[in-house]
Amino acid sequence: MIKSDMAMTSMTALTGPDPAPSPHVVIVGGGFGGLEVARGLAGQRVRVTIVDRHNFHTFLPLLYQVATAMLEPAEVAYPIRTVFGKADNVRFRHGQVRHVDHERQVVVLGDDTEIAYDHLVIATGATAAFFGIPGASQHAIPLYSLADARRLRNRLLSSLEHADAVADTAPLGLNFVIVGGGPTGVETSGALSELIKTVIKRDGLRLDPTRVRIILVDMAPRLLTPFPEKASAYALKELERMGVEVEFGRSVVEVEEHAIRFADGERLRVAAVIWAAGVTATGTLATDVQADAGPGGRVRVSPSLQILDRPHEWAVGDAAAIPNPDGGYYPQLAPVAMQSGRHVAAQIVRQGEGKPPLPFKFHNKGIMATIGRHAAVATLPKGPTVKGTLGWIAWLGLHLWYLVGFRNKLRVMINWTWRYFDWPSGPRLIVADAETAD
């Protein structure tokens, strides 16, 4: 075990010898926020250790393309060690933090290893919010990890193969229900529609397309509620053109293994329930860090993103309840996570220089969502809403820009280009261990 009575310890076992003592920054989580903190501290006079139970960073916005057989898992993931291969002061520790001892300033890993810190950054992200709905966490499939995406891809392709196998004796109707009309729900619905049409046409499945229903349900009165109404209307029109049934004002009361129940009493048999109804930090390390958690289990922070009453502990991204000067809190979105990560890195450097931390300012650069090929919406702050092909091209370019790793950028660009001219191609593989992968 690695223990220290003082936070300013050498940490030789994890980080190697240091020529001079320097503050140790422990970042818990290798998502968007955590990576930006580490990037901002690379080359600074601090030692950085990133702790994550996965040794790779996952580009969450493209998980739905893995689930719908458009991309391979390796194309949206990148080794964390490789990201910081040239940063001598940044190290990665594979493991899961189960507890934070604030008095001693150490994090405790699952194997009881203790890592001392001078600064702690909570960047643990969020998980799917099931709102206590019976059966939802057991039977619905969210999209917040590579394992989720592989599991959903398995379920979708297996359902189609089973329907083909019994086509002569007991023709099946397949119902796929997506819960949640935000960007994830909209993008997954559109991609699923294109996948099913591709599989039936290209792979010769004996399945009547009219017997396959894709149903997107949401309690809200419109899709993409953070977007302007005209963007929501465009998304609805495009999804309906693609054969997706969109139902507003519907709430789910139970999810069974092969069925879903709605508040109005309807029980519908389903091949899969895809959960895109929101996220929560409840159940993550955030709840261990602070007893009086903020909305959605998030860590309450000051305007400078310091955890309340702990000037050397910080929280970023989805794990943090970041106060918005205009009221409420900033949304749990990748741009907020990235900008908050950069901000915390800068404030840690400022503290090392004896300067007070500055408040976080989020610069809204717009939001976007894709519905299908040549169909996307992009809304700029105080600007126009771009729709159709132009919005789709903007969406492609932005996601390529933020994808981690040149290799992944190149592979995804090549695959998108190839599939643009040969749409049916794609990794339609049923992987046996995907249902149980972590």
pLDDT in tens, the chain (438 residues): 334 343 443 333 444 554 557 999 999 999 999 999 999 999 999 999 999 999 999 999 999 999 998 889 999 999 999 999 999 999 999 999 999 999 999 999 999 999 999 999 999 999 999 999 999 999 999 999 999 999 999 999 999 888 888 876 666 679 999 999 999 999 999 999 988 888 887 777 888 888 899 999 999 999 999 899 999 999 999 999 999 999 999 999 999 999 999 999 999 999 999 999 999 987 778 778 876 888 899 999 999 999 999 999 999 999 999 999 999 999 999 999 999 999 999 999 999 999 999 999 999 988 999 998 889 999 988 778 888 888 888 888 888 888 888 878 787 877 777 666 665 556 677 776 644 445
CA–CA dist 277, 273 (Å, integer):
11
Residues 158, 261 within the same domain: yes
Residues 268, 286 within the same domain: no
194 is an active site residue: no
Res 202: pLDDT: 77
The answer to whether position 403 is within a domain reads yes
Residue of 36, 75, 187, 313 marked catalytic: 187
Contact 320, 340 (CB under 8 A): yes
The answer to whether position 3 is within a domain reads no
Residues 191, 264 within the same domain: yes
Residues 143, 232 within the same domain: yes
The answer to whether position 79 is within a domain reads no
Residues 180, 111 within the same domain: no
Domain-ending residue, one of 317, 352, 387: 352
Res 420: pLDDT: 61
The answer to whether position 392 is within a domain reads yes
Q: Report the predicted TM-score, pTM, of the whole model to 2 decimal places.
A: 0.88
User: What's the alpha-carbon Rg for the chain, to the nearest Å?
Assistant: 23
Q: How many folded domains does the chain comprise?
A: 2
Residues 375, 329 within the same domain: no
The answer to whether position 215 is within a domain reads yes
The answer to whether position 357 is within a domain reads no
Residues 416, 342 within the same domain: no
The answer to whether position 41 is within a domain reads yes
Range of the domain at 321: 12-53+95-126+281-352
Residues 113, 248 within the same domain: no
Residues 250, 377 within the same domain: yes
Residues 326, 392 within the same domain: no
Residues 148, 227 within the same domain: yes
Residues 143, 104 within the same domain: no
Output the domain CATH number for residue 318: 3.50.50.60
Res 77: pLDDT: 94
Domain-ending residue, one of 325, 352, 379: 352
The answer to whether position 379 is within a domain reads yes
Output the domain CATH number for residue 151: 3.50.50.100
